[in-house]
Chain A
Amino acid sequence: MATATVPSVERENYLNKHYGVESWLLTTDHKRIALLYLISITFFFFIGGFFALLIRLELLTPASDLVQADTYNKLFTMHGQVMVFFFLIPSIPAVLGNFLIPLMIGAKDLAFPRVNLLSWYLYIIGGIMMVHCMLTGGVDTGWTFYTPFSTAFSNTKVIEAGLAIFVAGFSSILTGLNFVVTIHRMRAPGLTWSRLPLFVWAHYATSIIQILGTPVVAITLVLVVAERSLHLGIFDPKLGGDPLLFQHLFWFYSHPAVYIMILPSMGVVTEIIACFSRKRIFGYSFVALSSIAIAVFGFLVWAHHMFVAGISVYAALIFSLLSYSVAVPSAVKVFNWTATLYKGSIRYDAPMLYAFGFLGLFTMGGLTGLFLAALGVDVHVTDTYFVIAHFHYIMVGGALMGYLGGMHFWWPKISGKLYPEGWARLAALIVFIGFNLTFFPQFILGYLGMPRRYADYSHMPEFQILNVFSTAGSTVLGVGYLLPMIYFLWSMRYGKPAPDNPWNAAGLEWKTPSPPTTYNFEEEPVVTWEAYNYDEIDKGHKEEVHVVG
């Protein structure tokens, strides 16, 4: 497909227009900010991954012999906090969303370029605080900061970790705000809501959650910090406070936060499946509106994290029912992707392999979520490895597969270079195998009763074999994640120059040069076609494109 001619002289683009540290640290170009985010979140991904590997190594044997229980508590806490707040939440929106939304809607930049840079700096300030906190002792509360342990008993750096996440939260809020205004106000002429790429719809839904959910966890962390430093009693039952109130406020954000991670990934997968099946997305408006439905329903289900915490049985019944309702829009998406594949001309390039991986793993993660939404089953598996396996299938199997798929799909556009396809397919396979080897045994472990957050399971030595599988899998997974980083870096120097549209894909971003120029479009594009018009593209009809280089 990659038949377009590549000019031998390098064109001016966003990467080579300016040089020097200052041109990066003071940039307001959404594409450069996306790359700043890419570097920063990759750094945190490997920190979080390092903690994960230590956790898995400790669990290789039943006794707590690599680290002691206190250290183990810190390891899983910081693994969770780094991965959730400093990798998964910013991952696709801040890197791919930042880079692609203006390109996809035919705009020169996001609505507020300086606010965009500010949000990266907030992320970095939060990140530095988090790293400082980790280097000077860390936290052991679990990523959930449950009170009164976090406010009255823990002897670790709860305040600093809380403030780090508070600051990083505002980075997330400002990104969401920027996206919503941009999608509303900056679309090219003719690009109506029903012609928007579904990637943009998914980010719109994500932004709603970031805007409405994040402030609540921010104020909750303020209360935790105030309570811990001044012993106020707001969340301390000994002083008349209510720890359940903390859990309600915390999960009001932290459950929808899962949809901040998965919705953008769904958007990526939609683009990839349409392109590599050469078909219009089946049921466009259902896929678009199911994103909004997930965002809305996502706000109504938080207390399913608290079924055993002592909430009233009637509240539990309602939250159980509402939790099931999230399955409907999720299933709509899965069925529509499958229907898009039906009779498509499917190609198995690396992005598509990741999309297939996403489909399978997300479906498993979603279905096991239904087990957990059922009141009776939840009591049996609460705080076991079943829960761990479930949310890793969503967050790693779903969100991370989508992120990697998207990075491969748009890498030619971002870097102007082609990645080595063979290595990429191999890496996709390694990630899929390693992931299942790591996390599938955890479903069984959890169902058999292995509790989460325990360094020592020597009273249950029969659990060791499944833990060995899981630890072995995590090593394979680690290799699978290192490979893309290596060959992406390699391709920046040695990769073949990418044509403007290597996949022959639909979408305005592919009508710009690879890599794009600083202001994306020299003339404002005018859109006269529906999204995913692959039938027209493949018939060879030259559509009227008002964009030149």
Chain B
Amino acid sequence: MSDSQAAVPHHDGLHNPALLHHFATEEQQRDSASFGMWIFLATEVMFFGGLFCAYLIYRRWYFGDFAAASKSINAALGATNTAVLICSSLTVVLAIWAAQTARRGLMILMLVLTMLFGVAFLGIKGIEYKDKFEEHHVPGVSFSFDHQQIPGHPDQYANPQHAQIFFALYFIMTGLHALHMVVGLGIFTWLLWMAWKGRFTPHYHTPLEIGGLYWHFVDIVWIYLFPLLYLIDRHP
């Protein structure tokens, strides 16, 4: 019954409670939010960029050792994870589409699916890490990479020190990426809660869009990490 009275005092009658005081229009607020996220992603590109730079230099210097080390990680698991993440990006887009077309149930389902894909990714990553731990491929005191042949050079063994640099970069790059996935899961928990509360309408779903931008970015980082780390000089 209060619904009919609520609109009366406001002369515009359409005031959105999500519009913050310092913005003049909802459009200005939406533009600012997505522009801010794009700039944040630019900083992320530079953040990962430092690691990619280090990786590319050492890969060029120690190509054979890197190829041998790369061969020891499980490309099938990596490929599965790539597929999982691509699917999760699809569900994010579908969630936004559902919000735009006012399908609340579908939106919630898609958000849940996205998070399940995210958790699956981290689980598979965990299996990979466990394998590496058991094989003594984690850099540090117990690291060992002796008598590993360099692909294409059956008479040569990889230098364990150089292989250790590969594994150091492997763990830092995939670890940092996994950390971004964890943050993404946190963001999506919040988005799910907002969606559950019915905050997103075809008119207002900015958090969903900028959260989606972040998720896509984390996916794209993986799209680069996968071939660089898993597919160096692999031959069947």
Binding site for B on A (CB under 8 A): 107-113, 115, 173, 177-178, 180-181, 184-186, 211-216, 218-220, 222-223, 226-227, 230-234, 239-242, 245, 249, 252, 519, 524
Residues of B within 8 A of A180 (CB): 39
Bound complex: CA of A234 vs CA of B61, how far in Å?
A: 13
Contact B50 A186 (CB under 8 A): no
How long is the Cα–Cα vector from A233 to B40 in the complex, in angstroms?
31
Q: Is B159 an interface residue (CB 8 A)?
A: yes
List chain A residues, Cβ under 8 A from B50.
Answer: 215-216, 219-220, 223, 249, 252
Interface residues of B in 137-164 (CB under 8 A from A): 139-140, 159, 161-162, 164
Query: Across the interface, do A519 and B39 meet the contact criterion of CB distance under 8 Å?
Result: no
Which single residue of chain A is at the shortest CB-CB distance from B24? A524
Determine the chain A residues whose CB is within 8 A of the CB of B105 once the complex forms. none
Distance between Cα atoms of A123 and B36 in the complex (Å): 20
A-B contact list, 26 entries, CB within 8 Å: A108-B22, A111-B36, A181-B32, A181-B36, A186-B28, A211-B42, A212-B46, A216-B50, A219-B50, A219-B51, A220-B50, A222-B172, A222-B176, A223-B50, A230-B140, A231-B140, A232-B168, A233-B161, A234-B54, A234-B165, A240-B161, A240-B164, A242-B58, A245-B57, A249-B50, A249-B54
3 tightest A-B contacts by CB? A215-B47, A219-B50, A232-B168
Asked whether A215 lies within 8 Å of B36 as measured between CB atoms, the reply is: no
* Min CB–CB distance A335 → chain B (angstroms): 33
Bound-complex Cα distance A178 to B39 (A): 9
Instruction: Flag if A233 contacts B47 (CB, 8 Å).
Output: no
CA distance A253 to B208 in the complex (A): 33
> Quick one: CB contact mask for B39-72 with A, threshold 8 Å, 1 for yes?
1101110111111011001100010000000000
Does the CB pair A173–B43 fall under 8 Å? yes
- Given that A222-B172, A232-B139 are known contacts, is A184 also in contact with B165, CB under 8 Å in the complex? no
**Given A231-B140, A233-B164, 20 extra CB contacts under 8 A:** A109-B22, A111-B36, A112-B32, A177-B43, A181-B35, A181-B36, A185-B31, A186-B28, A211-B42, A212-B46, A215-B46, A219-B50, A222-B176, A223-B54, A226-B172, A230-B139, A230-B140, A231-B139, A232-B139, A232-B165
Q: Is A216 a contact partner of B31 (Cβ separation < 8 A)?
A: no
* Residue of chain B at shortest CB distance from A180: B39
- Hey, which chain A residues are within 8 Å of B40, CB to CB? 177
Residue among A107, A212, A234 with most chain B CB within 10 A: A234
Cα A192 to Cα B176 with chains together (Å)? 41
Verify A226–B42 contact, CB threshold 8 A. no
Cβ-based interface call for B169 (8 A): yes
| Max chain B C-beta neighbours (<10 A), residue from A186, A219, A231, A524 | A219
Q: Does B11 contact A (CB under 8 A)?
A: no
Q: Which residue of B lies closest to A28 (CB)?
A: B22
Number of A-B contacts defined by CB within 8 Å:
108
Q: Which residues of A contact B57 (CB under 8 A)?
A: 242, 245
Give chain B residues whose Cβ lies under 8 Å from the Cβ of A219.
47-51
Chain B interface residues toward A at CB < 8 A: 20-22, 24, 28, 31-32, 35-36, 39-40, 42-44, 46-51, 53-54, 57-58, 62, 139-140, 159, 161-162, 164-165, 168-169, 172, 176
- Whose C-beta in chain B lies nearest to the C-beta of A249? B50
- Distance in Å from the Cβ of A372 to the closest Cβ of chain B? 26
Are A218's CB and B32's CB within 8 A? no
Q: Would you call A185 and B168 a contact (CB within 8 A)?
A: no
Query: How long is the Cα–Cα vector from A252 to B54 in the complex, in angstroms?
Result: 13
Are B22 and A214 neighbours in the complex by a CB distance under 8 Å?
no
Of A115, A213, A241, A519, the residue contacting B21 (CB under 8 A) is A519
Cα distance A240–B46 in the bound complex, in angstroms: 25
Instruction: Report yes or no: B47 in contact with A216, Cβ–Cβ below 8 A.
Output: yes
Shortest CB-to-CB span from A224 to chain B, Å, is 12
Contact, CB under 8 Å: B22 / A215:
no
Chain A residues positioned under 8 Å from B62 (CB to CB): 240
- Chain B residue with Cβ nearest A112: B36
Contacts of A234 in B (CB 8 A): 54, 58, 165, 168-169
Residue in B24, B140, B162, B176 whose beta carbon sits within 8 Å of that of A240 in the complex: B162
> What CA separation (Å) do A519 and B28 show in the bound complex?
17
Residues on B with beta carbons closer than 8 Å to the beta carbon of A524: 24
Name the B residues within 8 Å of A233 (CB-CB). Answer: 139, 161, 164-165, 168
**Contact A249 B35, beta carbon cutoff 8 Å:** no
Contact of A177 among B21, B31, B39, B46 (CB under 8 A): B39
**Residue ID in chain B nearest A102 by CB atoms:** B22
Determine which of B21, B32, B58, B159 lies in contact with A108 in the assembled complex, contact meaning CB atoms within 8 Å. Answer: B21
Instruction: Report A-chain residues with C-beta under 8 Å of the C-beta of B176.
Output: 222
Q: How far is the CA of A213 from the CA of B45 in the complex (A)?
A: 11
| A186 and B32 form a contact (CB under 8 A) | yes
Q: Shortest Cβ distance from A88 into chain B, in angstroms? A: 20
Is the beta-carbon distance between A211 and B54 smaller than 8 angstroms? no
- Chain B residues positioned under 8 Å from A173 (CB to CB): 43
Contacts of A186 in B (CB 8 A): 22, 28, 32
Q: Which residues of B contact A178 (CB under 8 A)?
A: 36
The smallest beta-carbon distance between A203 and chain B, in angstroms, is 14
B22 CB contacts on chain A under 8 angstroms: 107-111, 113, 186, 519
A240 touches B168 (CB 8 A): no
CB nearest to A227 among chain B residues: B168
- Which partner residue on chain A sits nearest B62 by CB separation? A240
Would A212 and B42 count as touching, CB distance under 8 A? yes
CB-defined contacts of A240 to chain B, threshold 8 Å: 62, 159, 161-162, 164-165
**Chain B residues with Cβ under 8 A from A184's Cβ?**
35
State whether A241 touches B51 (Cβ < 8 A).
Answer: no
- B residues near A185, Cβ cutoff 8 Å: 28, 31-32, 35
A331 to chain B, nearest CB (A): 29
A492–B55 CA distance with the chains assembled, in angstroms:
55
Q: Shortest distance in angstroms between B120's beta carbon and chain A's nearest beta carbon?
A: 27
Contacts of B46 in A (CB 8 A): 211-213, 215-216
Closest to A219 in B: B50
Which of B28, B43, B53 counts the most chain A CB atoms within 10 A? B43
Rounded to whole angstroms, the CA-CA distance of A232 and B143 in the bound complex is: 10
Q: Which residue of A lies closest to B168 (CB)?
A: A232
Who on chain B is nearest to A246 by CB?
B54
Asked if residues A218 and B165 are in contact (CB atoms below 8 Å), the reply is no
> CA A249 – CA B164 in complex, angstroms?
21
CB-based nearest B residue for A173: B43
Partner of B44 from the list A215, A220, A519 (CB cut-off 8 Å) is A215
Chain B nearest CB, measured from A48 CB (Å): 27
Instruction: Say how far A315's CB is from chain B's closest CB, in angstroms.
Output: 14
Q: Which residues of A contact B47 (CB under 8 A)?
A: 215-216, 218-219
